[in-house]
């Protein structure tokens, strides 16, 4: 009886808080939860933008067609993984180098730490527009500079050649992401006790040996969490590639978000595009489970 009365009292005292949270909860449900389940349900339908009234339930037909016969889906899935993996690796290596540099006692260290954030805080549209201008094969600053210096005799087709376009979008994606990795790794380095490095120095260990024996093991929890998070964010990224190449040339830089977008709005197959998005959601959920597993093992 005493426990029940205490519970009722707590609910009565907290009722105002629940009432205040209700509008925000309803708003989140309307703008996030309903579209999510609506999008998943469309994956089980034959639904075209041109013939909305003729939508019909088809069960698993879209998923069977996607997994059994759609070679474009598998090539896009492969590049999506390659793109996310490349961005994470380049971001981690460059972020580690900058973190090691900014962790040293150098002049204007605070200024450099602030400046390193610029690529990360620039709006994606602004960054994409600037990179499109820099990499343009006729008037782009990079091509014009290379030709004037005599390094190349003709423009380099950064965004028109399929292989170069893939390399370019990976590089620009890493340029946008490496500041986050730099700050995370730098914060991890700040938590490593100086006594460990002093002891290693007394034992005759140099920079590389201290880095291998002290820095990397101490940064393992931070490194694993940050790389998994960045992989999920990059795998789900849309604007970087779309603003640069729109998935071209010849669909060479298609990733799953862009493939779903084109399938829905340019090919008018909204049900099939929803099936692609649903499978992408499954992949992201599996990555999220990996992330949660890492969190548990590092506690």
Q: How far apart are CA 192 and CA 275, in angstroms?
A: 46
Within a domain: residue 181? yes
Within a domain: residue 120? yes
Within a domain: residue 148? yes
Whole-number pLDDT of residue 106 = 80
Summarised one tens digit per residue, pLDDT across range 81-123 is 999 999 999 999 999 999 999 988 888 888 888 899 999 999 9
Whole-number pLDDT of residue 91 = 96
Q: Which domain holds residue 225?
A: 65-297
Summarised one tens digit per residue, pLDDT across range 220-262 is 888 888 898 899 899 989 999 999 999 988 889 999 999 999 9
Given a cut of 80, whether residue 61 has pLDDT beyond it is yes
Whole-number pLDDT of residue 8 = 65
Non-local (6+) Cβ contacts of 277 within 8 A are: 39, 43, 256, 260
Average pLDDT value for residue range 173-185: 94
What share of the chain has pLDDT > 90, as a percent? 41
Task: Kindly report the average pLDDT of the chain as a whole number.
Answer: 87
Whole-number pLDDT of residue 204 = 81
Least confident interval from 26-35, 109-118, 184-193, 214-223: 26-35
Whole-number pLDDT of residue 12 = 67
Given a cut of 80, whether residue 7 has pLDDT beyond it is no
Q: Is 222 or 203 the better-scoring residue by pLDDT?
A: 222
Q: How far apart are CA 142 and CA 148, in angstroms?
A: 10
Task: List, in sequence order, the alpha helices (H) in 149-238.
Answer: 162-190, 194-202, 207-210, 216-218, 220-235
Whole-number pLDDT of residue 267 = 86
Within a domain: residue 18? no
Given a cut of 80, whether residue 16 has pLDDT beyond it is no
Within a domain: residue 186? yes
Burial (CB count within 10 angstroms: exposed 0-12, middle 13-18, buried 19+), residue 213: middle
pTM: 0.87
Within a domain: residue 216? yes
Within a domain: residue 215? yes
Given a cut of 60, whether residue 2 has pLDDT beyond it is no
Q: Is 138 or 5 the better-scoring residue by pLDDT?
A: 138
Whole-number pLDDT of residue 48 = 79
Number of domains in the chain: 1
Given a cut of 70, whether residue 299 has pLDDT beyond it is no
CATH of the domain at 118: 1.10.3720.10
Within a domain: residue 112? yes
Q: How far apart are CA 197 and CA 207, in angstroms?
A: 9
């Amino acid at each position: 009886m005493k426990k029940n009365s205490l519970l009722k009292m707590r609910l009565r005292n907290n009722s105002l808080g629940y009432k205040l949270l209700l509008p925000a909860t309803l708003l989140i449900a309307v703008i996030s939860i309903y579209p999510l389940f609506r999008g998943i349900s469309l994956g089980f339908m034959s639904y075209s933008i041109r013939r909305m009234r003729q939508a019909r339930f088809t069960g698993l037909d879209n998923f069977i067609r996607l997994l059994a016969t759609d070679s474009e889906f598998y090539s896009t899935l492969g590049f999506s993984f390659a793109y996310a993996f490349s961005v994470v690796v380049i971001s981690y290596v460059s972020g580690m180098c900058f973190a090691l540099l900014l962790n040293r006692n150098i002049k204007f260290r605070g200024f450099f730490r602030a400046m390193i954030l610029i690529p990360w805080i620039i709006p994606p549209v602004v960054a994409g527009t600037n990179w499109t201008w820099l990499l343009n094969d006729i008037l782009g600053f990079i091509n014009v500079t290379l030709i004037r210096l005599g390094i190349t005799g003709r423009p380099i087709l950064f965004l028109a050649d399929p292989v170069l376009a893939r390399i370019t979008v990976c590089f620009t994606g890493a340029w946008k992401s490496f500041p986050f990795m730099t700050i995370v790794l730098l914060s991890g380095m700040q938590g490593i006790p100086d006594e460990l490095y002093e002891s290693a120095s007394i034992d005759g260990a140099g920079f590389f040996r201290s880095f291998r024996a002290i820095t990397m093991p101490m940064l393992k929890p931070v490194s694993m969490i940050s790389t998994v998070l960045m992989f999920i964010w990059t795998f789900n990224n849309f604007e970087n590639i779309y603003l640069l190449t729109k998935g071209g040339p010849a669909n060479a830089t298609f990733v799953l978000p862009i493939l779903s977008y084109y399938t829905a709005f340019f090919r008018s197959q909204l049900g099939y595009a929803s099936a692609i998005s649903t499978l992408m959601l499954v992949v992201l959920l599996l990555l999220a489970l990996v992330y949660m597993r890492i969190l548990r093992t590092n506690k």
